[in-house]
C-alpha cells in the first residue's frame, strides 16, 4: 500500500525531486504551496509545472504568501530567480485549484484516513491549519517534515531555512502534539547529497523527467559549489518523503524539540534536547542517519519509472 500524502512545498530544486519521488512512491492527495525558496506565485507555478511533468493529476492549492509575523524571505542564491532555475521551462497548461491551501489541508485530512502531512518548506500553512482545526493533529497518520537541524544551520549558524523563514509557524507545529512527528533536519539531509556522478546517471536514464532532474542538478550543484566548499549538494526534501515510504533506511531518535523565536543569534533554531532526561515531552522523532546508497538506489529506481513519452 502506498502511503497517502499531502505535500506542502516551496519548489525549489529539492522540492522538485521530492515531488518526482512522491508521484511514484506514494498516493499524493494534493499539493499545497507556500512562500519560501521563491515568492508564492513562483512556487505555485513551479508546483504546477512539476505536477504536469510527472503526470500527477492532483489539485494544487496556493497558500500563504508571507509568514505569520516576520517578513517574507527567499533563497534566490540557491534556487535562482524562478525558484527552479536551470532547465528550459515547459509550457504549463494547468492552474491552481484555489488560493486557500489551509481549507484544502483541513478538508482533505478530515475526509481521508491515514494521511501523512509532508511539509518541505516553511510551515506557515500547517500552522494556520492546526490553529483553525486542532482536530487534524490527531487525525493524520503523522507529519514528516524537512526542516530544522540537530546540528548546524544553513541560513544562520544555528537555523535551517524552512524553520528560520517562519519560526513562529514552526513553533506552533512542533508544539501542536502530533503523535508521529518525523524531522529530517540538516544534520541528516547533509548525508544525502548528489554530485556529478548523479547527473551522469540521470542523463543515462534519458527520459524527460530524469533529464529535467539532471538540468535542475546542473544549476543546483554549481550554485552550491560557488557558495560552499561542498562537493555534494544535499538533497534535503526527498528525505521527508523517504522517511514515510522507507523508514528502514533511517535512524530516528525520540527527542524534545523546541523552536527559538526570539534569540538575537538563534532565532529559527530547533533546540534539540539530547540530555535524555525522562521528564521531557518527546514531541519529535529526530533523524540522525540515512543509508545514502539505499536512498540513492530508490531515487534512481523511481526515475526509471518515468518512461519517455
Name the site residues for ligand RIB (rule: CB under 6 A). Answer: 10, 12, 14-15, 36-37, 75, 120-121, 146, 154, 160-162, 236-237
Can residue 160 be called a binding residue for Ca ion (CB under 5 A)?
A: no
Backbone dihedral angles phi then psi of residue 146, each to the nearest 5 degrees: -100, 120
Task: Establish if 120 lies at the interface with Ca ion (CB under 5 A).
Answer: yes
Residue 225: CB atoms within 10 A of its CB come to: 14
Q: At its nearest, how many Å lie between ligand RIB and the CB of residue 276?
A: 27
Residue 160 interacts with, from Ca ion, ligand RIB, none (CB under 5-8 Å by kind): ligand RIB
Phi, psi angles (nearest 5°) of residue 43: -65, -35
Give 10 or 166: the residue with its C-beta nearer to ligand RIB: 10
Q: Considering only residues 169-208, where is the footprint of Ca ion by CB under 5 A?
A: none
Site string for Ca ion, 15-34 (x = CB under 5 A): x-------------------
Name, in order, each residue with C-beta under 8 angstroms of 105's C-beta and a sequence gap of 6 or more: 6, 8, 32, 117, 125, 126, 129, 136
Nearer to ligand RIB by Cβ, of 225 and 280: the residue is 225
CB of 290 to Ca ion, least distance (A): 17
Nearest CA among 120, 136, 125 for reference residue 189: 120
What span, in angstroms and rounded, lies between the C-alpha atoms of 200 and 248? 27
CA distance 259 to 154: 16
Catalytic annotation, pick one of 79, 236, 246, 265: 236
In angstroms, the CA 167 to CA 35 distance is: 14
Under rule CB under 5 A, residue 148 binds Ca ion: no
Q: Is residue 236 annotated as a catalytic residue, yes or no?
A: yes
Q: The dihedral of CA 224, 225, 230, 234: what is its sign?
A: positive
Partner touching 154 among ligand RIB, Ca ion, none, CB below 5 to 8 Å by kind = ligand RIB
Cβ atoms within 10 Å, residue 193: 18
- When the beta carbons of 12 and 148 are compared against Ca ion, the nearer one is 12
Q: Which residue's entry shows cell 543515462?
A: 204
Least Å distance between CB 15 and Ca ion? Answer: 4
User: Using alpha carbons only, how large is the chain's radius of gyration in Å?
Assistant: 18
Catalytic residues: 236
Binding-site ranges for Ca ion (CB under 5 A): 10, 12, 15, 120-121, 237
Amino acid at each position: 500500500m502506498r502511503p497517502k500524502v499531502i505535500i506542502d512545498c516551496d519548489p525549489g530544486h529539492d522540492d522538485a525531486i521530492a515531488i518526482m519521488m512522491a508521484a511514484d512512491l506514494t498516493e499524493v492527495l494534493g499539493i499545497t504551496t507556500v512562500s519560501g525558496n521563491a515568492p508564492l506565485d513562483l512556487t505555485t507555478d513551479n508546483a504546477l509545472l512539476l505536477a504536469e511533468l510527472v503526470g500527477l493529476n492532483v489539485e494544487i492549492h496556493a497558500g500563504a504568501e508571507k509568514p505569520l509575523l516576520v517578513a517574507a524571505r527567499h533563497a534566490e542564491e540557491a534556487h535562482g530567480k524562478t525558484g527552479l532555475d536551470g532547465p528550459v521551462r515547459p509550457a504549463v497548461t494547468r492552474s491552481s485549484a484555489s488560493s486557500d491551501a489551509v481549507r484544502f489541508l483541513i478538508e482533505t485530512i478530515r475526509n481521508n484516513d491515514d494521511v501523512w502531512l509532508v511539509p518541505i518548506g516553511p510551515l506557515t500553512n500547517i500552522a494556520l491549519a492546526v490553529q483553525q482545526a486542532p482536530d487534524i493533529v490527531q487525525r493524520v497518520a503523522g507529519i514528516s517534515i524537512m526542516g530544522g537541524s540537530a546540528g548546524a544551520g544553513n541560513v544562520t549558524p544555528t537555523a535551517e531555512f524552512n524553520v528560520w523563514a517562519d519560526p513562529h509557524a514552526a513553533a506552533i507545529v512542533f508544539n501542536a502534539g502530533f503523535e508521529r512527528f518525523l524531522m529530517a533536519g540538516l544534520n541528516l539531509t547533509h548525508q544525502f547529497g548528489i554530485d556529478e556522478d548523479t547527473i551522469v546517471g540521470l542523463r543515462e536514464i534519458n527520459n524527460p523527467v530524469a533529464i529535467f532532474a539532471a538540468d535542475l542538478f546542473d544549476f543546483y550543484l554549481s550554485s552550491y559549489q560557488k557558495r560552499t566548499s561542498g562537493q555534494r549538494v544535499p538533497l534535503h526534501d526527498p528525505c521527508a518523503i523517504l522517511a514515510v515510504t522507507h523508514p528502514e533506511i533511517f535512524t530516528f531518535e525520540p527527542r524534545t524539540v523546541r523552536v527559538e523565536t526570539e534569540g538575537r543569534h538563534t532565532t529559527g533554531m530547533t533546540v534539540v534536547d539530547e540530555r535524555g532526561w525522562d521528564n521531557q515531552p518527546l514531541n519529535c522523532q529526530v533523524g540522525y542517519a540515512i543509508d545514502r546508497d539505499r536512498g540513492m538506489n530508490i531515487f534512481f529506481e523511481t526515475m526509471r519509472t518515468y518512461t519517455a513519452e
